[in-house]
């Protein structure tokens, strides 16, 4: 048993002394340079100029809303995505909803009627929507796409510059990196548990925020280790062969299936299924640090297969002669080649919450 929970709690209490030096140096520089007008080039290649500190802000998708709320600027927000996956943001139900009935696509007419000083559009918003809003004389900034923890910090700092909350952005990033570094410190030095992220027959491989979350929390992403890139379907063969020691699921998802394949895993047999807020897992915003912290707490106290093997070997040495193991089967990933349709389906599962 790796019981490092107490170390994690101590680390959290002293996070002020574990700041991430390089990212915070950049944030401090921009904090002192926050002024208007400000011009930034967005993901569409457009140079967007904000003449004055915005007093009317519209956020088009959850990650932008989360970031603005973390910056304490929700009082200036006049339009936001009002949906089940943003109801954790206090007061968002009082804002004008900018989504259509599908709770995903943007209601352009509603945005135009709000006549905001700036419209913040995460990368999931189509360029066509951005251009249509600009054609209606709206100042729209579209963020780029990224899959790293640094990307989130950079986006927070950029959002702060655009809305005139630079000092707040620096503070949010400081707390963000402190949480991540304390989680890393608490799980440092031990063996990394094999972790499988699972949601409705899909898993997350390399090049995803989930992969970054697992690594930062001290785990090993079994999907990434076995060559999965992005999001892909996972079948029973892969689950059995990978035999995760911990399974990570979202609190609003279907959970772990009650199948023979999953029930045979070390994770399920040892009741090591970690449930984390799905909004924090899927929305690339500052609260990803909370997901990392929660996962690190679970991993720091997880039993590993090697621990069980060591205990079994000790008993066998005293009571019996070990039986030779059969040869392991040849390496097989359990994944077929994903078609474009499957890839698009996977993206759709996660895009709705971005």
Profile the chain (354 residues) by mean pLDDT over runs of 10 residues.
Answer: 36 32 39 82 98 98 98 99 97 98 97 99 98 98 95 98 98 98 91 96 96 97 97 96 98 95 98 97 96 96 77 40 30 31 44 60
Check if the beta carbon of residue 102 is closer than 8 Å to that of residue 61: no
- pLDDT at residue number 186: 87
> According to the CATH classification, is domain 35-164 in 3.40.50.1980?
yes
Q: Could you confirm whether domain 188-322+329-351 is CATH 3.30.70.20?
A: no
Predicted pLDDT at 284: 94
Cα 307–312–318 angle (5° rounding)? Answer: 135
Q: How many Å apart are CA 188 and CA 142, to the nearest integer? A: 37
Give me 34's structure tokens.
């926050």
Q: What is the pLDDT of residue 308?
A: 60
Looking at residue 263, its pLDDT comes to: 98
Cα–Cα distances (Å) from 34 to 10, 30, 154, 158, 268, in that order, read 35, 6, 15, 10, 50
Query: For position 55, what pLDDT does the model report?
Result: 98
Q: How far apart are CA 116 and CA 12, in angstroms?
A: 39
What pLDDT is attached to residue 145?
Answer: 93
Provide the 10 A C-beta neighbour count for residue 128: 9
Q: Residue 328 has what pLDDT?
A: 29
Residue whose structure tokens are 């054609």: 135
Outline which parts of the chain fall under CATH 3.40.50.1980.
35-164, 188-322+329-351
**What does DSSP say about strands 246-250 and 273-276: parallel, antiparallel, or unpaired?**
parallel
Cα gap 109→302, rounded to integer Å:
51
């Amino acid at each position: 048993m790796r019981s490092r929970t107490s170390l994690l709690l101590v680390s959290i209490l002293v996070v002020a002394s574990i700041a991430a030096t390089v990212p915070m140096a950049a944030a401090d520089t921009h904090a002192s340079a926050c002024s208007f007008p400000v011009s930034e080039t967005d993901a569409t290649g457009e140079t967007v100029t904000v003449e004055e500190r915005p007093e009317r802000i519209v956020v088009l998708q959850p990650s932008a809303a989360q970031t603005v709320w973390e910056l304490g600027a929700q009082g200036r927000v006049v339009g936001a995505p009002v949906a089940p996956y943003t109801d954790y943001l206090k007061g968002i139900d009082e804002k004008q909803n900018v989504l259509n009935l599908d709770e995903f696509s943007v209601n352009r007419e509603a945005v135009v009627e709000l006549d905001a000083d700036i419209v913040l559009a995460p990368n999931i918003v189509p360029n066509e929507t951005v251009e249509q809003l600009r054609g209606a004389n709206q100042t729209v900034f579209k963020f780029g796409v990224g899959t790293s923890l640094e990307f989130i910090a950079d986006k927070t700092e950029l959002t702060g510059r655009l809305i005139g909350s630079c000092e707040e952005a620096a503070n949010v990033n400081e707390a963000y990196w402190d949480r991540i570094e304390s989680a890393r410190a608490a799980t440092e030095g031990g063996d990394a548990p094999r972790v499988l992220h699972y949601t409705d027959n899909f898993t997350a491989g390399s090049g995803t925020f989930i992969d970054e979350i697992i690594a930062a929390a001290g785990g090993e992403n079994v999907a990434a280790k076995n060559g999965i890139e992005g999001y892909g379907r996972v079948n029973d063969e892969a689950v059995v062969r990978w035999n995760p020691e911990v399974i990570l699921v979202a609190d609003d998802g279907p959970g772990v299936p009650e199948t023979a394949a999953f029930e045979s895993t070390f994770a399920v047999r040892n009741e090591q299924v970690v449930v984390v807020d799905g909004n924090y897992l899927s929305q690339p915003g500052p609260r990803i640090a909370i997901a990392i912290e929660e996962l690190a707490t679970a991993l720091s106290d997880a039993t590993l297969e090697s621990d069980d093997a060591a205990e079994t070997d000790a008993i066998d040495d005293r009571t019996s002669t070990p039986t030779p193991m059969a040869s392991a089967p040849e390496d097989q990933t359990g994944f077929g080649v994903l078609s474009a349709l499957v890839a698009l389906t996977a993206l759709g599962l996660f895009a709705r919450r971005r």
